[in-house]
Amino acid sequence: MYLAPPPQICDNNGMRSDILENELKTLPEAERARIIREALQELSPPALKALERQLRRFAHPEVPEDVWTGFEEAEDGRGIEVRDEHFEHPPV
């Protein structure tokens, strides 16, 4: 089984993502961190939130997806308050 090569994304100046990635790898860690930090500051709040959530999944692959979904629903204020009476008479 072969994996597809990474996409070749180009910006208006013709810089492909694979070239950019290789160039970043040649820089000292402090310089890479500065560039990435500045790039992250350019992301919209929804894009930054999605990236943060994806990074959490990468950092903790042992956590099931339904647990992440529950955390994110709570973060977004989409949870419901669970009371003892809900077990006898569910609110849904």
Model pLDDT, residue 1: 43
* Stretch 55-76: mean pLDDT: 95
Range of 3-7, 8-12, 37-41 with top mean pLDDT: 37-41
Put simply, whether the predicted model's pTM sits higher than 0.85 gets the answer no
Distance CA 25, CA 86 (A): 54
Whether residue 37 contacts residue 18, with contact meaning beta carbons closer than 8 Å, is answered with no
**pLDDT beyond 70 at 5:** no
Angle at the Cα of 53 from the Cα atoms of 82 and 67, rounded to 5 degrees: 35
pLDDT of residue 2: 46
Rg value, the chain, Cα: 20
Count CB neighbours of 91 within 10 A: 9
